[in-house]
Amino acid sequence: MTSVTGLLDLRRTVPQKYIPVMVTAGLFVAMFVAGGIRYEGFATGQIVLNVFIDNAFLLVVAVGMTFVILTGGIDLSVGSVVGLSTMVSASLLKDGWPAFGVMALVLVIGAVLGLGMGAIIHYFEIQPFIVTLAGMFLARGLCYTISTDSIPIENATFTAIAQTRVDLGGDMWVSPSVLIALVVVLAAAYVLHYTRLGRNVYATGGSEQSALLMGLPVARTKIAVYTVSGFCSALGGLLFAFYSLSGYGLSAVGMELDAIAAVVIGGTLLTGGSGYLLGTVLGVLVLGLIQTIISFEGTLSSWWTKIFIGLLLFAFILLQRLITARRR
């Protein structure tokens, strides 16, 4: 009863749109403090940095998913596009292509796939779930036309980037992938909050019909967000290739669900129109910290990660329901 009263008091004193992000931030801090109390060597800055290092590719993919969900859509193809990106990268590098040329080509492929799905969703008025499900099967199938086996990446440039450590002082470090992911987050935050496209994204998610009546370019906006998602998925695939130094057709199976979970736990409404990229970053950190705690525990199966994520999703969906009911 006390917790319910506290939530009601919080809703009266804090703007409702900030509550989910604040709850996610509080959850992350509570988990970190609890881990520091229970496990020796847990409460260090490098542990947080390791969460970023191990989830940089998921963070980039979740950024693209945030754009899509803010418009009230969904993109189930992102995990398959990540897998396809690793396969294209590994196979072309094995054939002697230059590393930066391969990276550029992979990003173009991801953006074109996203653009195509966005155009089909809007102009043929097909549900995003169906179109992106087809995109998921298409991208995953293309992986196996390249190879059914894992392809190691031995390109010198690619390997050098993957193995570089960026020292932050005090024995703390991050990988280049983390820096790339943070640049993507900052750029995406700027686009969402300080550009016309960002305002159109929120307006389309709030009410597509109202956005049309106001003369906003709904078609261009919807196509743009799926293009952004495709681009971020391809970039996430490159970061995953840096992380694993290989390409494999089964890479990132289920990553689309992790990305959606991170966005929802971060406070973005599945119906669209409300959410912040800061929440998505916190959502990814919460998922990563769950994995870290389970690995420190040592006696729990990795499947407990899925159980905890499921419980968190139920909790945050209920929180979203309470907030939207209050708005009505």
E-only strand ranges, the chain: 151-152, 166-169, 172-174, 246-247
DSSP state at residue 18: G
Q: What is the length of the chain?
A: 328
Tokens of 96: 């002697």
What structural domains does the chain harbor? 18-327 (1.10.3470)
* Chain center to CA of 324: 24
**Do residues 287 and 33 make contact, with C-beta atoms less than 8 angstroms apart?**
no
pLDDT tens digits in sequence order for the chain, 328 residues long: 445 555 555 556 667 778 888 889 998 999 999 999 988 888 888 999 999 999 999 999 999 999 999 999 999 999 999 999 999 999 999 999 999 999 999 999 999 999 999 999 999 999 999 999 999 999 999 999 999 999 999 999 999 999 999 999 888 999 999 999 999 999 999 999 999 999 999 999 999 999 999 999 999 999 999 999 999 999 999 999 999 999 999 999 989 999 999 999 999 988 888 899 999 999 999 999 998 988 888 776 777 778 888 888 888 888 777 766 655 5
pTM value is 0.92
